[in-house]
Structure 1
Amino acid sequence: MSARVIDNLRKVEIFAGLSDEELAQVARLCKALRAPAGQTIFNEGDTGDELYIVHDGTVRVMITTRLSDGTTAPSTINTLYPGQCFGEQALLGGAARTATVSTNEPTVLIVMRALDFDALAEHNPRIGFVVMRNLARDLAYKLNASNLLLRGNIRWRGDELGKRTGG
């Protein structure tokens, strides 16, 4: 695996605190996926067992929202850039995907299967501990942000959701 892949892994929050040797062990689990612009990586509700890291390009994260007339439509909630990851809940075991993710442009993703990560964590418990601790912190942050959003204390970037729902 190239030094550039390890550099990208170093930027990913869930891998913060791993040594270069540990990052190299993680990198050996990864495969590259090249995707053209507009390709759906996965859909909201799909099952999945892979973590994705943006290596080159960008992806759009969308959720289905209910509009004021009762219909539903996809709403973009985030754009992810190199060094950012998605699908991280797969590392916790088989949860349904909570969003749809598609590429904005030709994109290279680094893909890691949860089963491969589990085997690495069994072999090197420190890697498993650090990643799970970071993942727990990230999910706690997202849960707190969602709670604030539901209470009306913050709004989605660009306030797209608020405009569509009258909020």
Structure 2
Amino acid sequence: MSDIKLFLKRVEMFIGLSDEMLSKVASLCNSEAYKSDETIIERNSSPNNFYFIQDGTVEIITAANNDAQELVDS
């Protein structure tokens, strides 16, 4: 069984899926690693990906009207 499929089995929104359906979802996934302080999504971009954090944490930073950065979540 793939590492991605094993990970997805523990994600609440996928609990209860059949093994076949879980395999299909896993086949659509890619595993990526990011370094500390590396940007994953740029402001004003149009990402077409959905991210799960398997290990570690992320900070979500947004800019206010005056372009001052504000930490939304980490």
Tell me, yes or no, whether TM beats 0.5.
Answer: yes
Structure holding more helix per residue: 1
Q: Percent identity?
A: 28
The aligned residue for residue 8 of structure 2 is 9
In structure 2, the CA distance between the partners of 1:32 and 1:22, relative to structure 1 (3 Å rule), is: same
Higher relative contact order (CA 8 A, sep 6+): 1
How many residue pairs get aligned? The number is: 72
The aligned residue for residue 69 of structure 2 is 74
> What's the CA shift string for 1:50-108, capped at 9, x where partnerless?
11111221111121124xxxx321212122xxxxxxxxxxxxxxxxxxxxxxxxxxxxx
The aligned residue for residue 49 of structure 2 is 50
- 1:19 aligned onto 2:14: no
TM-score by length of 2: 0.74
- The 5 A counterparts of 1:1-167 are 1-2=2-3, 5-10=4-9, 11-13=11-13, 15=14, 17-66=16-65, 71-79=66-74
Query: Residue 19 of structure 1: CA displacement?
Result: 2.4
Structure 1's unaligned 5+ residue stretches are: 80-167
TM-score by length of 1: 0.38
Q: What SS does structure 2 have at the residue aligned with 1:76?
A: strand
In structure 2, the CA distance between the partners of 1:76 and 1:12, relative to structure 1 (3 Å rule), is: farther
Structure holding more strand per residue: 1
